């Protein structure tokens, strides 16, 4: 009953079925669902986030970012433990032929990456970006080589990150944690 009402509602929105009390024909229902699923504004599949260079904002030291989901919470402070969900691409975004090489998302779901932000535990581009993000915020980051792994690259010759590579991250600041005490080296960052 509920399924029939849902199908009738979708069909009425898309093709103008006048009454929700009658079930649409199979053809009307399939057409309605297909049209809704294909719609860029209503459907089940959203178009990829904007990728035009002019949509990105300039961050510090050559970092570029695009906010894809506004955050709802506070920004972290340097040294604070945070959790992030991320995917790393090389050579561009996936819709432009980029290759996924690392992600917190796997077959068993998302396993957020936890670290202290702003104390050089990750690449500099991440520290700079995440210190400016709110809890719950998602961004696309374009991290130049000097804020990533530099000329040396990382991870060896097979499946690694080549030297001078630009990094493309989709990252979400999922959770803010406790504030640890920084040592002298971390304070010098």
The pLDDT value given to residue 43: 37
The pLDDT value given to residue 22: 47
Token pair for 73: 């919470």
Spatial distance between the Cα atoms of 3 and 9, rounded to a whole number of angstroms:
10
The pLDDT value given to residue 54: 67
pLDDT tens for the chain, 189 residues: list them: 444 444 343 444 334 434 444 444 444 433 443 443 443 444 333 444 444 556 999 999 999 999 999 999 899 999 999 999 999 999 999 999 999 999 999 888 889 999 999 999 999 999 999 999 999 999 999 999 999 999 999 886 546 899 999 999 999 999 999 876 767 776 676
Spatial distance between the Cα atoms of 97 and 112, rounded to a whole number of angstroms:
25
Residue pair 140/65 in contact by the 8 Å Cβ criterion: yes
The pLDDT value given to residue 184: 78
Confidence (pTM): 0.67
The pLDDT value given to residue 53: 59
Spatial distance between the Cα atoms of 139 and 69, rounded to a whole number of angstroms:
7
Spatial distance between the Cα atoms of 31 and 37, rounded to a whole number of angstroms:
10
**Tally of CA atoms within 13 A in the half-sphere of 83 that contains its CB:** 10
The pLDDT value given to residue 185: 78
């Amino acid at each position: 009953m509920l399924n029939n009402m849902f199908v009738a509602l979708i069909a009425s929105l898309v093709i103008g079925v006048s009454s929700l009390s009658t079930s649409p024909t199979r053809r009307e229902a399939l057409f309605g669902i297909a049209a809704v699923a294909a719609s860029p504004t209503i459907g089940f599949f959203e178009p990829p986030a904007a990728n035009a260079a002019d949509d990105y904002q300039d961050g510090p030291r050559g970092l570029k970012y695009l906010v894809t989901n506004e955050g709802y919470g506070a920004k972290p402070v340097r040294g604070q433990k945070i959790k992030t969900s991320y995917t790393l691409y090389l050579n561009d975004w996936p819709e432009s032929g980029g290759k996924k090489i690392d992600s917190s998302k796997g077959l068993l779901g998302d396993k957020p990456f936890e670290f202290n932000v702003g104390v050089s535990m990750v690449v500099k581009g991440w520290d700079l970006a995440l210190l400016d993000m709110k809890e719950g915020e998602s961004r696309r980051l374009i991290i130049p080589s000097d804020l990533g792994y530099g000329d040396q690259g990382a991870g060896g010759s097979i499946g690694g990150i080549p030297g001078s590579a630009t990094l493309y991250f989709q990252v979400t600041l999922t959770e803010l944690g406790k504030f640890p005490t920084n040592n002298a080296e971390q304070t010098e960052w």
